[in-house]
Structure 1
Amino acid sequence: MEEEKYIVASNCIFVKGYKNNLLFDIQKRCWYHITFSLSPVDLTKIDTDSIEYMVSEGILLKVPKSLESLLPPISLEYDSPYLIESAIIDRSETSEYSIEKVVHLLDSLSVKFLQVRYYSDIDIEELELLLNYLFESTIESIQLVCPYKKDLLEYIKSNNLFSRNPKLSNIIFSSCSDNIVDDYANIAFTSEIINSSDNCGNIHPNLFSNNPKLFFKSLNFNSCLHKKIGIDEKGFLKNCPTMQNSFCHIDDASDYNIKQLKTSFWSITKDQVNICKDCEFRYICTDCRVITDSPENIYSRPLKCGYNPYISKSGKEKRNIIL
């Protein structure tokens, strides 16, 4: 009988951290926290229970040696056909710029994903106007973030806002002081007060992503700023609304060379960021290049991350596989 060996399934990608390691399963969209690397030498040292578990989970495959070459690793490249893939629009009670001009710009760039953040109460007429503009645009998915108001929630439900606007993917209500019990699948509630772009940049295990697209993007580019634009409260066009520097104002966007929207931040990966480069969670975590420990250093770690990969201080994993 031909000799067999254990190999790592091609859909499972190993990520080495300073103290711990992570295995991301592209197919199942989950990750595992492991204490060893997945080299052939290590596989011979793993206890039987761990081997059996990894086989049952599809992490390890037992194949004849002659077939090993027929199971090559998957490509780790990432590419997007769009000049700009996602956008953020910030609005407040002082915003005076034209929503119509913004949507026209996003449409001309063929933007696919949009987040609209309201820092003050939404005017229902403006919300309906915004959704009407977006309905005919290239936008495929819209997320709305706004302060919680009971009247607004009732309006959304009674007027079937989601069914009338299929591009509206979900709504996040902030500043919720009440314990709201709601079974609406597209609506989430948080007690967090989101009243400016400075509330952005949060890093937390609950925000880790099981999206393979983000994983590959993080391997090759900046997970947050790559092919993204933002419109701040005053209507200035930026890579991110939180940034100080802007490209131009939305009123002048038609005269701006769109190719200049690309910034140096697009290509900064977590493998280049201080401390993050030693973290096992770096490819499933988002990255903020604006709110950092040292604003003068573009490779400084995100300010709002409290995880220490050198002592494995925190972090929640799907399952520990211990050697």
Structure 2
Amino acid sequence: MNNFDKKIFSLYPSCVLVNGKNKDALYDLQRQSYSLIPHALYYILTKYNKQTIGSIKEKYADEANIISEYFKFMLDKDYGVLCEKNVEVMFRPLPHHVFSPKLITNAIFDYDKNESYNLMEGIRQLSLLKCENLELRFYDYISLSRLTDVLKWADDTTLRDIEIMLQYGEDYTFKNILNIRLLYPRLRKVSIVNSPKNLECIYSHEEIFIIYTSQEINDESHCGICSPWYYLPKIELYMESLSFNNCLNAKISIDRFGNIKNCPSMAKSWGKFGVYTLSEVANNKEFQKIWFIKKDDIDKCKECELRYMCQDCRAYIKDKENIYSAPTKCNYVL
């Protein structure tokens, strides 16, 4: 038996195994990457995780070369480390629960030219809830000065991360956006839609993403797309997905008509903003119920190896009568 076969392979705590219907996955949560793996490797890593590579080969004598290739793959990817048989590696396990003392942690506000609600008042009420993350989506063009007014108003609030979607205008140059970012560092992402095709690009500059896309987004119906572009194997999303809905948990929204919702795309309204406060709706236990619909509860998702790194959508589902129905916009083949 060579030295390699005498060792035990120990998986790093930030590398987690997720089983699926026809294949499995290994998430590297620290590097925010993943690999699809066969059922056989998943089984070996979970069933024989305390045994030497040599003893595993003895159990699969006809496939010893494949076993060696499996572990070489794991080492090449730096998913773990080889250990001596009698030396126990004391990795601190990854926590499986996420907790926030804040009732609302994130929000989406949709807005258009009808100005059907007071946007500044909405931001003020978010701050009263100690919310730190806001996505603002403008479905009609707003001027640079109007955008600056909104960000200035948000500057003296609890908001820490602001993402904004804007309709293209000639004044939304890269230089102008960067200048705004210097004034308002809470601005972390700007998507400028309906841009001319020759301007399409993605800028990553320090702590801000600036995206110019020719895609036309004029309403909330573009939400809920499940695609490899949105797969995000990161620790926070993984842990949240184990216990909560990874899109709607602790979220509150106002759609472009002024309705308070879990998400602007959802049919259910919890009342008009201005008639009800965000706090009144957020404290409603019925409003909170959808926060607890996990990926492990949802049709198709519960059999998918990518379920803990793909954000859910409960607005666009295949069976409107079944809240646990599979997302309509998911085309991933299990």
Tell me which interval the TM-score lies in, with the shorter structure as reference length: 0.7 to 0.9
1:303 is the counterpart of 2:328 = yes
What is residue 215 of structure 2 aligned with on the other side?
Answer: 192
Aligned mate of 1:67, from 76, 84, 87:
87
What is residue 320 of structure 1 aligned with on the other side?
Answer: none
User: Which one has a bigger Cα radius of gyration?
Assistant: 2
C-alpha separation in 2, matches of 1:26 and 1:177: 36
Which aligned pairs between 1:134-213 and structure 2 lie closer than 5 A?
A: 134-153=154-173, 156-157=176-177, 160-180=179-199, 184-185=203-204, 186-213=209-236
Aligned mate of 2:37, from 34, 37, 40:
34
Aligned mate of 2:23, from 17, 20, 23:
20
Q: After TM superposition, what 4+ stretches of structure 1 lie above 6 angstroms from structure 2?
A: none
What is residue 305 of structure 2 aligned with on the other side?
Answer: 280
Alpha-carbon RMSD across the aligned residues, in angstroms, is 2.3
What is residue 270 of structure 2 aligned with on the other side?
Answer: 247
Q: CA deviation at 1:206?
A: 1.1
Query: Normalised by the size of structure 2, how large is the TM-score?
Result: 0.85
Q: CA deviation at 1:12?
A: 1.0
For residue 32 of structure 1, what is the amino acid of its counterpart?
Answer: S
Q: Which runs of 5+ in 1 are unaligned?
A: 310-323
What is residue 6 of structure 1 aligned with on the other side?
Answer: 9
Residue 10 of structure 2 contacts residue 89 of structure 2 at CA under 8 Å; is this kept in 1? no
C-alpha separation in 2, matches of 1:155 and 1:48: 53
Number of residues of Structure 1 aligned to a counterpart in Structure 2: 307
What is residue 62 of structure 2 aligned with on the other side?
Answer: none
For residue 192 of structure 1, what is the amino acid of its counterpart?
Answer: Q
Compare 11-20 and 123-132 and name the one that shifted more: 123-132
Residue 270 of structure 2 contacts residue 281 of structure 2 at CA under 8 Å; is this kept in 1? no
What is residue 109 of structure 2 aligned with on the other side?
Answer: 89
What is residue 319 of structure 2 aligned with on the other side?
Answer: 294
C-alpha separation in 2, matches of 1:308 and 1:184: 32
Q: CA deviation at 1:236?
A: 1.7
C-alpha separation in 2, matches of 1:180 and 1:258: 40
Residue 248 of structure 1 contacts residue 256 of structure 1 at CA under 8 Å; is this kept in 2? no
CA gap of 1:181–1:231, structure 2 versus 1, over 3 A, is: closer
What is residue 239 of structure 2 aligned with on the other side?
Answer: 216
Residue 95 of structure 2 contacts residue 239 of structure 2 at CA under 8 Å; is this kept in 1? no
Residue 86 of structure 1 contacts residue 112 of structure 1 at CA under 8 Å; is this kept in 2? yes
What is residue 113 of structure 1 aligned with on the other side?
Answer: 133
C-alpha separation in 2, matches of 1:170 and 1:272: 32
Q: CA deviation at 1:39?
A: 2.5
What is residue 256 of structure 1 aligned with on the other side?
Answer: 280
Deviation per residue, 1:35-78 (Å, 9 max, x gap): 13122449635432331231243323222344336335322111
Residue 7 of structure 1 contacts residue 40 of structure 1 at CA under 8 Å; is this kept in 2? no
Q: CA deviation at 1:193?
A: 1.4
| Higher relative contact order (Cα pairs below 8 Å, separated by 6+ residues) | 1
For residue 16 of structure 1, what is the amino acid of its counterpart?
Answer: N
CA gap of 1:264–1:113, structure 2 versus 1, over 3 A, is: same
C-alpha separation in 2, matches of 1:74 and 1:66: 23
CA gap of 1:16–1:258, structure 2 versus 1, over 3 A, is: closer
Q: Which runs of 5+ in 2 are unaligned?
A: 58-65
